[in-house]
């Protein structure tokens, strides 16, 4: 049990964050209307990029610089997908500094990055920079330098609902607010961030994460040993929902930071998807009330061939058919419990849903397909 005082402080902090985000939303909605902006179609994005004259050369194999810190999934998902399009050089600052949030270390990393780029570019021109960075890790001056060198930059950001602005340090937003205008394409997985990026002068494309079919694949020889499982950190309402299910006799196994089973390796995680009858998903953003977003798990579980039952949010049906269905969604804990009990009695139905979800993921949701779309826009 969480002590009352601690729980109250946590809830107060999240309430304050919710109020701040609501204020931020109102500000950007007003600015979007005042500036008479419009959402960009694929053709609009193509024309904007063409006008900037920072495009990809017409060649079969690109020379690509990838800039991101590897935490647990990035290197295994992003690098193999980028390598489908050419030679990839990976700049990872995790082995160069202790804390990127320290301004002096951040500046040091940016200096090292520019030198790394210059050395590569001198030997063979860099055709594309792909970054997974924010204002916390990259300086505006670094991005402007790349732009002046005529190299297109794609930046990926995955938590723009909560962290579009983020904390302010040294007068700079730690999210992507201040840097999105300096990249060729600002790739966000958060639909509500698109208008904010436009207001800040950026060129947004809304597109979720993907999965790597060479890693996220079915293991048909694995026996189903878990009736229900969840792989992911314990935060927000997750513990409450899991406890509710257990109190109602659902045999659910949880893995990840904060759970008693602890974290598992990437290989173990993928095998768990095949070892599970029903893979549970959550869509909530922390403890923000009524805030939901797409998760990488939405594509990783389905590509791994697992039956996926995730918390409903309005973006899910944009990428999976929930009526056929290819995946299933739940709205309330009572609805979730009922669905689980029905599914566990019908393994044949579970297999059919899992197969349809797997086919959709392979067809439409690989990281490679995400990059194909982006590179096509840059090939003016």
Q: What is the CATH number of the domain that holds 284?
A: 3.40.50.2000
Give the model's pLDDT for residue 7: 66
Give the model's pLDDT for residue 14: 74
Mean pLDDT, to the nearest integer, of 167-173? Answer: 91
Q: Report how far residue 87's alpha carbon sits from residue 62's, in angstroms, rounded to the nearest whole number.
A: 6
184 plus 246 within the same structural domain: no
317 plus 260 within the same structural domain: yes
Angle between helices 140-148 and 103-123 in degrees, nearest 10: 10
Domain enclosing residue 160, as ranges: 37-208+367-378
Give the model's pLDDT for residue 100: 86
192 plus 288 within the same structural domain: no
371 plus 348 within the same structural domain: no
pLDDT band at 2; cut points 50, 70, 90 = low
Compute the Cα dihedral for 152, 156, 209, 91 and give only its sign: positive
51 burial (CB, 10 Å; 0-12 / 13-18 / 19+) is: exposed
Question: What number of other Cβ atoms are within 10 A of residue 90's Cβ?
Answer: 16
Give a yes or no: residue 357 inside a domain. Answer: yes
Residue 36 backbone class (left: φ over 0; alpha: ψ -120 to 50; beta: rest): left
DSSP state of 71: S
Q: Report how far residue 310's alpha carbon sits from residue 336's, in angstroms, rounded to the nearest whole number.
A: 9
Give a yes or no: residue 219 inside a domain. Answer: no
50 plus 198 within the same structural domain: yes
Which residue is listed with tokens 């929902």? 241
Q: Report how far residue 52's alpha carbon sits from residue 198's, in angstroms, rounded to the nearest whole number.
A: 15
269 plus 163 within the same structural domain: no
pLDDT band at 6; cut points 50, 70, 90 = low
Q: Which two tokens stand for residue 335?
A: 């609805």
Helix (H) or strand (E) holding 91: strand 86-91
Give a yes or no: residue 24 inside a domain. Answer: no
pLDDT score of 96 more than 80: no
Give a yes or no: residue 16 inside a domain. Answer: no
pLDDT band at 3; cut points 50, 70, 90 = low
Give the model's pLDDT for residue 5: 65
Give the model's pLDDT for residue 13: 78
Tens-place pLDDT, residues 302-333: 999 999 999 999 999 999 999 999 999 999 99
Give a yes or no: residue 289 inside a domain. Answer: yes
- pLDDT, mean over the chain: 94
117 burial (CB, 10 Å; 0-12 / 13-18 / 19+) is: buried
Model confidence, pTM = 0.93
| 253-260 contacts at long range (C-beta below 8 A, 24 or more positions apart) | 253/226, 253/228, 253/229, 254/229, 254/230, 255/229, 255/230, 255/231, 256/230, 256/231, 256/232, 257/233, 258/233, 258/234, 259/234
Most confident of 13-27, 92-106, 206-220: 206-220
Give a yes or no: residue 199 inside a domain. Answer: yes
Q: Which two tokens stand for residue 107?
A: 């500046």
Mean pLDDT, to the nearest integer, of 358-378? Answer: 97
195 plus 254 within the same structural domain: no
pLDDT band at 289; cut points 50, 70, 90 = confident
Q: Count structural domains, the chain.
A: 2
Mean pLDDT, to the nearest integer, of 274-285? Answer: 96
Query: Torsions phi, psi of 252, nearest 5?
Result: -110, 135
265 plus 198 within the same structural domain: no
318 plus 353 within the same structural domain: yes
Mean pLDDT, to the nearest integer, of 191-219? Answer: 97
What strands lie across the sheet with 86-91, from one edge to the other?
86-91, 62-67, 128-131, 153-157, 185-188, 204-206
Tens-place pLDDT, residues 174-198: 999 999 999 999 999 999 999 999 9
183 plus 324 within the same structural domain: no
Mean pLDDT, to the nearest integer, of 256-285? Answer: 96
323 plus 371 within the same structural domain: no
Q: Taking a C-beta distance cutoff of 8 angstroms, is the pair 223, 275 a contact?
A: yes
239 plus 92 within the same structural domain: no
């Amino acid at each position: 049990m969480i002590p009352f005082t601690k729980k109250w402080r946590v809830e107060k902090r999240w309430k304050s964050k919710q109020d701040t985000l609501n204020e931020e939303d109102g500000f950007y909605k007003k600015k979007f209307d005042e500036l008479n902006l419009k959402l960009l179609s694929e053709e609009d994005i193509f024309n904007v990029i063409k006008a900037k004259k920072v495009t990809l050369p017409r060649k079969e194999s690109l020379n690509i610089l990838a800039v991101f810190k590897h935490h647990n999934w990035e290197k295994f998902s992003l690098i193999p997908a980028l390598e489908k399009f050419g030679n990839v050089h990976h700049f990872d600052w995790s082995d160069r500094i202790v804390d990127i949030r320290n301004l002096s270390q951040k500046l040091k990393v940016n200096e090292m990055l520019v030198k790394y780029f210059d050395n590569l570019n001198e030997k063979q021109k860099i055709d594309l920079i792909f970054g997974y960075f924010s204002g916390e890790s990259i300086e505006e001056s670094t991005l402007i330098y790349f732009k002046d060198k005529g190299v297109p930059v794609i930046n990926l950001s995955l938590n723009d609902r909560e962290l579009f602005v983020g904390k302010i340090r040294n007068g700079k937003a730690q999210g992507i607010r201040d840097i999105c205008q300096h990249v060729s394409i600002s790739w966000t997985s958060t639909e509500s961030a698109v208008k904010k990026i436009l207001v800040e002068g950026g060129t947004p494309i809304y597109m979720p994460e993907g999965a790597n079919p060479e890693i996220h694949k079915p293991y048909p020889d694995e026996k189903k040993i878990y009736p229900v499982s969840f792989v992911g950190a314990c935060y927000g309402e997750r513990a409450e929902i899991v406890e509710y299910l257990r109190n109602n006799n659902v045999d659910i196994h949880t893995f990840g930071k904060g759970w008693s089973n602890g974290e598992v390796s990437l290989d173990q995680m993928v095998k768990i998807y095949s070892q599970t009858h029903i893979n549970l998903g959550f869509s909530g953003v922390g403890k923000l009330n009524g805030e939901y977003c797409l998760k990488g798990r939405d594509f990783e579980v389905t590509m791994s061939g697992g039956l996926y039952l995730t918390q409903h949010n309005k973006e899910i049906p944009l990428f999976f058919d929930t009526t056929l269905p290819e995946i299933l969604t739940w709205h309330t804990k009572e609805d979730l419990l009922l669905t689980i009990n029905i599914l566990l009695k019908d393994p044949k139905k579970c297999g059919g849903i899992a197969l349809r979800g797997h086919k959709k993921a392979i067809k439409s949701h690989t990281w490679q397909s995400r990059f194909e779309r982006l590179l096509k826009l840059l090939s003016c």
